[in-house]
Each structure stands twice: as C-alpha cells, then as structure tokens.
Amino acid sequence: MVKVIFTENLKRHIDCPPCEVEAASVAEALAKVFAAHPRLGSYILDDQGGLRKHVMVTVDNNLILDRESLSDPLDQNSEVYVLQALSGG
C-alpha cells in the first residue's frame, strides 16, 4: 500500500494523520485521503485541483513533476510526503 504522510508543520493547521491507500497516482492517493479527511483537500489543493503554491509533494524522496493534475505514478510501496513550503528569512 502507498503511505501518505504529512509533515508536523501541516498538523499544526489541520488534522492530517498518516494514511495507507491503494493508488496508482498521486492524484488517486490524495483523493482517497481527502475522502476520509475533507477539510484537508481544500488546504492542499487549489480550485483547479492542483497543488497550492505553499505545498510540496514528494514521492520516494523526489519532488513530483506534475503539480497541476498530480499524475505522477506510484508503486505499491511508494511513500508520498506532503509538506508545507516554508519561506522567509
């Protein structure tokens, strides 16, 4: 199963426990997580379904390439990390 993990700084803003789902793409994995945690979806995705500017996603320690449709493929044992991009000095 694919593991979807959220960083601690996101957990300060919204409930986002780690989840395990069956999915073939990042979009499918996140859709299944958001079905169980609806408020999380609007925090991570914009109105068009792409990642918000302040959010980054990695699959097996590599940044995803498709921030708009989230089509990056997943293996059965992939780890998807969702993190809030930090800025400032």
CATH of 2-84, one of 3.10.20.30, 3.40.50.2000, 3.30.460.10, 3.30.70.420: 3.10.20.30
Q: For the chain, what are the domain ranges?
A: 2-84
Cα–Cα distance measured from residue 77 to residue 79, given in angstroms and rounded to the nearest whole number: 7
The 3-state DSSP class for residue 42 equals helix
pLDDT per residue as tens digits for the range 9-61: 887 778 888 999 999 999 999 999 999 988 889 889 999 999 999 899 999 99
The end-to-end CA distance of the chain, in Å, is 38
Task: Tell me how far the alpha carbon of residue 47 is from its chain's centroid.
Answer: 15
For the residues of 21-40, what is the DSSP string, one character each?
E--SBHHHHHHHHHHHSHHH
pTM, to two decimals: 0.90
Q: CB neighbours of 38 closer than 8 A, spacing ≥ 6?
A: none
